[in-house]
Amino acid sequence: MFNFFKSKKKPVKPTPEVTAESELPPEDTIEAEAEPKAISEVTPEIVSEAAPEVVPETIPEVIPETEAALIPEPVSTGETQPKPKLAGFASRLRQGLSRARQNFGNQLSGLFGGGKIDEDLYEELETILLTSDTGVDATNLLLENLRKRVKRENLTDAAELKIALQDILVELLDPLARPLDTTTQTPFVIMITGVNGDGKTTSIGKLANYFKLQGKSVLLAAGDTFRAAAREQLMAWGERNDITVIAQESDSGAKSDPAAVIFDAVNSAKARGIDIVLADTAGRLTTQLHLMEEIKKVKRVIGKAMPDAPHEVLLVLDANTGQNAVTQVKAFDEALDVTGLVLTKLDGTAKGGVIAAIAGQYPDNPPALRFIGVGEGIDDLRPFNARDFVEALFD
Ligand SMILES: Nc1nc2c(ncn2[C@@H]2O[C@H](COP(=O)(O)OP(=O)(O)O)[C@@H](O)[C@H]2O)c(=O)[nH]1
Ligand SMILES: [Mg+2]
């Protein structure tokens, strides 16, 4: 069950040529009524067969402008000299975590203001951690490690605890910081999953931007076919990023078939030599068993378009869901063998502890937290870095 974060690489088999775009292997057609022909390729503004040459040309013009966008808000003009990209994100991260920092950081600074390190202090710290969504396991682990460190370093004054706690948190979270390597396959197929409204589609838009900044070509698959609005939303992100979106025609009247859309997208990406496919899916509750079965099937069908695909199954989690995020990780992993996490809306929560809660749940085999989202802007998503995160959380 918990093969979650073990290496899941299977041997690469030779790719069977899939020629019939839009045609699913019959045994994998999800619903009898599914109408694969309803799928079309949608460039930002045109619903038609977008020529393959539409994609490659985008990179040169886009880079200068998006690089400017990486710099924190106040900088606006193109002539401003480029700053290091991560410096830009560091300030966004700080800004994004300001609510959590006010809450968590202020409580801690009260605690660490000075005075003796005693049982009362540990108890108070325990309460602060627990009320910040850190969860029982991670809280216990952190306190245990803190006590050890206090002993080892003969710390006596509470003022010395802040640095110690930061270090211990970094130690706990650092194993989660395993960036996604998309260079192992072309196209590298990423399937995005999670509950409703947790930020999947938005994260796809931000990820597309992120990958484009690295000079990669990206294609989107509108695999959330439940709502027309979901498709429109993804199309808007496609337009913003100037990339192709493969979607089902809205007026087709056909029964929605997410697997067919993504299957087509992967084939299209193969034909065009696209680097990365980002496949959106409809949100679902882990208790909706038929929908959990459906998403498993979607994953299997993607594997028919390209062996070993999807190469990454990203589970998107909303930081505001607190302890529930831990439950979601478990359930989605059981269904899909999740390979990485995206934690969104860290800017919206006053509790920054959910990452620690997830880490505490898997002390020996922690999940890979690929990206964190700290706002609704296109640049508000970046790879997770434990030290940066902890320093933005309290300083
Ligand atoms: N504040 C904030 N809002 C976000 C973030 N990510 C997504 N959202 C918002 O959350 C809402 C739902 O996002 P959406 O991508 O549609 O969720 P989906 O149903 O999982 O596809 C939208 O209003 C997004 O703008 C984030 O990191 N921070
Ligand atoms: Mg969506």
pLDDT at 24: 52
Which segments of the chain have a pLDDT < 70? 1-87, 250-255
* Spatial separation of the C-alpha atoms in residues 294 and 299, rounded to whole Å: 9
How many whole angstroms from 320 Cα to the centroid of ligand 1?
A: 11
| Mutation pick for ligand 1 pocket among 206, 372, 376 (CB with most ligand atoms within 8 Å) | 376
Q: Which residues have CB less than 5 Å away from ligand 2 (the ion)?
A: 200-201, 224, 230
How many whole angstroms from 224 Cα to the centroid of ligand 2?
A: 7
pLDDT digits (tens, 9 = 90+) for 146-176: 999 999 999 988 888 999 999 999 999 999 9
pLDDT at 297: 96
* Spatial separation of the C-alpha atoms in residues 152 and 247, rounded to whole Å: 59
DSSP states of 233-268 as a string? HHHHHHHHHT--EEEE-TTS-PBP-HHHHHHHHHHH
> What Cα–Cα distance (Å) separates residue 249 from each residue in 38, 46, 280?
6, 12, 16
Contact 76, 366 (CB under 8 A): no
* Spatial separation of the C-alpha atoms in residues 367 and 369, rounded to whole Å: 6
- The SS3 call for residue 55 is coil
Q: Which ligand is nearest to the CA of 376?
A: 1
* Spatial separation of the C-alpha atoms in residues 185 and 308, rounded to whole Å: 9
- Ligand 1 proximity of 205 Cβ (cutoff 6 Å): no
Q: How many CB atoms lie within 10 A of CB 169?
A: 28
pLDDT at 322: 87
Paired tokens of 258: 């997410």
pLDDT at 113: 84
Atom of ligand 1 nearest to the CA of 198: 20
| Mutation pick for ligand 1 pocket among 198, 200, 202 (CB with most ligand atoms within 8 Å) | 202
How many whole angstroms from 199 Cα to the centroid of ligand 1?
A: 4
Q: How many CB atoms lie within 10 A of CB 350?
A: 16
How many whole angstroms from 99 Cα to the centroid of ligand 2?
A: 25
pLDDT digits (tens, 9 = 90+) for 234-277: 999 999 999 999 998 766 555 578 999 999 999 999 999 999 99
- Ligand 1 proximity of 201 Cβ (cutoff 6 Å): yes
Atom of ligand 1 nearest to the CA of 348: 1
Q: Which ligand is nearest to the CA of 382?
A: 1
- Ligand 1 proximity of 258 Cβ (cutoff 6 Å): no
> What Cα–Cα distance (Å) separates residue 236 from each residue in 240, 266, 285?
6, 20, 25
